[in-house]
Amino acid sequence: MTAQDQLRALLREDIAPRLRAAGFTGTERRFSLLSDEYFAQIGIQSSVASTSDDVKFTANLQVISKSQWMNSERRLPMRPSPNAGYGLELGWDARIGSLMGVGDRWWWLDARGSQRGAVARELGDALLSVGLTALRERMT
């Protein structure tokens, strides 16, 4: 099993069920809160420095008005990616670490998954406490 396999398993088996229980939809690297007015998303971003032995990753959060997105004069995809920067003033985005008050927070998993339980707890708790709160605050 590679470190990327461990990350996929962590997201599928540990993080996704907790996020779905809180009202999110999605799989693996993108989770969304259902809304008629906003794209409210969490995206999991891996570092380009990741290898098959170790993967480094973080979570990006984003809230964008659907009407502003759809009516932008720029050519944009049907739906924004929480892991892409569009250089637009159409919404809000942040890394989870900044919301946690710790700067740019990245987690590591190795190919053995030796820290998977601790990483799953810390990431899941951060996404559901500060992340979900931040998304909801910006959906008003």
Q: Is the pLDDT of residue 74 over 90?
A: no
pLDDT value of position 85:
78
pLDDT value of position 96:
97
Q: Of 72 and 120, which is predicted with more confidence?
A: 120
Q: Is the pLDDT of residue 36 over 80?
A: yes
pLDDT value of position 3:
97
Global pTM reads 0.93
pLDDT value of position 86:
78
123 class by beta-carbon count within 10 Å (0-12 exposed, 13-18 middle, 19+ buried): buried
Q: How far apart are CA 127 and CA 135, in angstroms?
A: 10
Q: Please report, for residues 30, 33, 34, 120, the alpha-carbon distance to residue 24 in angstroms, rounded to integers and kept in the order given.
A: 10, 5, 7, 17
